Amino acid sequence: MTTRRVIGAFALLLTIGITAGCDSAAPAGSTLATTQPTTTGSTVAPSQTAVPTPTTAAPATPTQSGPAFTASCPDHGSTSAPGCGSWNAGPSSGQAPGFAAGQQSSPNLLGVNQDPWSGGQGPQALTAFSFQNWSVTATDTDPANAPGEVLTYPDASFNYHQLDTAASGYTAPPPQYDLNNITSLTSDFAESMPQLSNLDAEAAYDLWLNNWQTEVMVWVDTAPAKDRNLADDSMTRVGTFTYGGQNFALWRNGSGITGFYVFLLDHNETSGSVNLKAMLETMVSLGFIPATSSLTQIPFGWEISDTGGKPVTFTLSRFNVSLQN
């Protein structure tokens, strides 16, 4: 891409093994209904159906005492700077939320991440009560030399790469996390982002597959100043795909296993459910990724380019992944 308006390969460096602050247990639930997709308006029709369905149900308001984790990343702070890293937010025991049945949890399987990956961002303060309940206040100004560049991606993540096996050369988790061995992969979310006229940001999933080689984003909520025409980023529109009544335009930059892909919802939703398996199967049927593609990480957060130079607070109140083999 000529301009970094959407997050790219450099972001992966910021979410691998970086921690700041203390580890703490944080619950995360999961279960979703699934549906099947159809395709419209594309030149290549996927050979199988798939399904996401964002909804508008309001999340329950969690009870909170004091934050479990706080961090302040300074202006232009790197990921290694104090306050700019990640919080290991997973439960210390029991079934790992969002992982295959029988996988024992550990704190590093879930993360809440500052992710100031560009080096051009302003100060950013994160307050987390749990993996399911946290907010971040960012103060960013669109760089004059790179309009629309993504400066930071504060997010929560399911970290499948933490299970990478010696047999794979530590490049892939166990076979349960290969796409062809997954029968259902769904997620639900609830977030809030102020609808300010000069805010350039979007709420999105940023999936990584195949040992950080394949990036697949799902945009669900864009701020007023966000450019939704991804052709401006030198991306190519593949077509429109319908999942459970919701229309997503699929865009790509490059192709194959090293390509960058975006599913763009045709309207904004601040809470809902998405069938990630359905979307990835669409990509398999189009020949973009192998059926044996392995999961590396599933984050959800906000790509932030410009807050008008003033503090803006983004809040996440629900983020679950449900995986079944």
List pLDDT tens digits, range 235-251. Answer: 999 999 999 889 999 99
pLDDT in tens, 10-45: 343 333 333 333 333 333 333 333 334 444 444 334
Confidence of residue 228 (pLDDT cuts 50, 70, 90): very high
Confidence of residue 194 (pLDDT cuts 50, 70, 90): very high
* Structure letter (DSSP) for residue 57: P
Rg (CA), the chain: 18
Coil/strand/helix, residue 300: strand
| Ordered domains of the chain (ranges, CATH) | 9-324 (2.60.120.180)
Confidence at residue 64, expressed as pLDDT on a 0 to 100 scale = 57
Q: Give the HSE-up count for residue 104: Cα atoms under 13 Å, Cβ half-sphere.
A: 2
Instruction: Tell whether the model's pLDDT for residue 52 goes beyond 70.
Output: no
What is the percent of the chain with per-residue pLDDT over 90, rounded to a whole number? 75
Calculate the average pLDDT of the chain: 85
- Asked if 320 and 191 count as a contact pair (C-beta separation under 8 A), the reply is no
- Helix %, strand %, coil % for the chain, to 5? 10, 35, 50
Integer Cα distance of 20 and 61 in angstroms: 27
DSSP for 233-257, please give it. Answer: GT-EEEEEEEETTEEEEEEEES-GG
Tell me the residue type at 253.
N
Query: Which has more confidence, 103 or 40?
Result: 103
Q: Average pLDDT for residues 87-114, to the nearest whole number?
A: 98
Confidence of residue 170 (pLDDT cuts 50, 70, 90): very high
